[in-house]
Amino acid sequence: MGFKFRKRIKIAPGLHVNLSKSGVSTSIGKSGATVNIGKKGVKATVGIPGSGLSYSQNLSESNSFNESSSQTENGGSLFGKVLAVIVTFFLAVNFFSSPSEPAVSVSTVEAKSLRVRAEATLNSKVINQLVAGDEVVVLKTNSSWALVEGNGIKGWVASEYLSSPKS
């Protein structure tokens, strides 16, 4: 049984350098859609994250990345075309990605006393309480629950006991 060496280093969101025994490559893209540039050429992969289903296709016409920078018969370089595809792909991924900062709103506690829980369930441990008039920042909602933060307290509360959000 042999040992495999693989290391993935994150450079920026969507940009990784991959190190292995067989060489170095660069991956651009998010989970589900990536372009990999390595010594064997350029490969695009799309798939369904977590399912094991994916489709890969070589974008370079040769097996060697060094050969792919040679001129093609129509005068343009394959390397330039591949670079344009990669840049377009990276811009498209960033354009269609969700915003990094979630929208937050401010609400007021309307119940006399409101239990703050560790998780969004009635069976969850009560970690603290809020009182009527306390203002909280709603970080996230989950059906009839809201993840709130205020007065040094962070946890889940029943959203029906909060006022309508003030953005």
Domains and CATH numbers, the chain: 6-96 (no CATH), 105-161 (2.30.30.40)
Contacts 24+ apart (CB under 8 A), 50-53: none
- pTM for the full predicted model: 0.41
Q: Mean pLDDT, consecutive 10-residue segments, the chain of 167 residues?
A: 76 82 83 84 83 83 49 54 71 63 78 93 93 91 90 91 79
Amino acid 2: pLDDT: 66
Residue bearing tokens 């369904």 = 48
Mind giving me the DSSP string for 32-73? TEEEEEETTEEEEEEEETTTTEEEEEE-SSSS-TTGGGSBPT
pLDDT on residue 77: 63
